[in-house]
Each structure stands twice: as structure tokens, then as C-alpha cells.
Amino acid sequence: MKIAFASKDGVHVNQHFGWCEKFFIYEITPTESYFIHEVDASLTQESEVDKLNYKIACLDDSDIVYVLQLGPKASAMVKSAGVYPMQSSGEEQSIKEVITALQKMMSNATPLWLKRIMMKAQA
């Protein structure tokens, strides 16, 4: 499964979706994780809808996007694009922490929402 992290530094989940200038894309399994690449999302757009569509296009077919914050309109658009939006617990939450937590969920008592994403990623 591919996850896009909104981050200023590549270490923490510390960027708002609409203002994010970089997404760090990882592939994760229940036992491993791989950094795939960094996506430049710094292009500015005139309208809010254009900006959000551009940010969604930058997610590089990710299954989940993990951000510091995400507004309701952006959340609806991200979900419509087939990406599951998640918010970090704060600016200090690390990408590594999130990956570890998701891997634990993937291995033990996987919640239904995550099972759906895992099945979609395998298809």
C-alpha cells in the first residue's frame, strides 16, 4: 500500500494538505516499509478547486494521505479520488511512528477501513 505524507522535513507529518509543498511517498507492508520518492507539490494555482485537484494529482496514486490538517472540502475531494485521508496527532508525530502504527494495525485485528484499503492496493 502506498502512503503520501505531507511534510516539511521528510521526518514529521507537519504540513496542512492545501499548503503542502512536498509529499513523501512510502510503500508499506505489514513487515516492511520503503521510501519511494519525494513529490514536489509547490506549484501555485489560481482557484481553491484547482489547488486541491493539483495536490490530489501529486499524491502519485497513493492509497492513504497523512497530513497535519485537512479541510472538509479537501477531505471530500481526496475521498472522491479514492485516497483515504488521515490526520496526524500533531506536528511532532513522525512518519516512522505512523508507519509502525499502521503496520501493527495491518498485522493485528485490522480495522475494516484498513482492510478495504489493503484489498484495493492488492487489486
- Residue 122: CB partners within 8 Å, gap ≥ 6? none
| pLDDT (tens place) for every residue of the chain, 123 residues total | 999 999 999 999 999 999 999 999 999 999 999 999 999 999 999 999 999 999 999 998 999 999 999 999 999 999 999 999 999 999 999 999 999 999 999 998 889 999 999 888 877
Question: What was the pLDDT predicted at 122?
Answer: 79
Which residues are CB-neighbours of 35 under 8 A, at least 6 positions away? 24, 25, 26
pLDDT at 60: 87
Residue ranges of alpha helices (H) inside 47-92 are: 48-57, 72-80
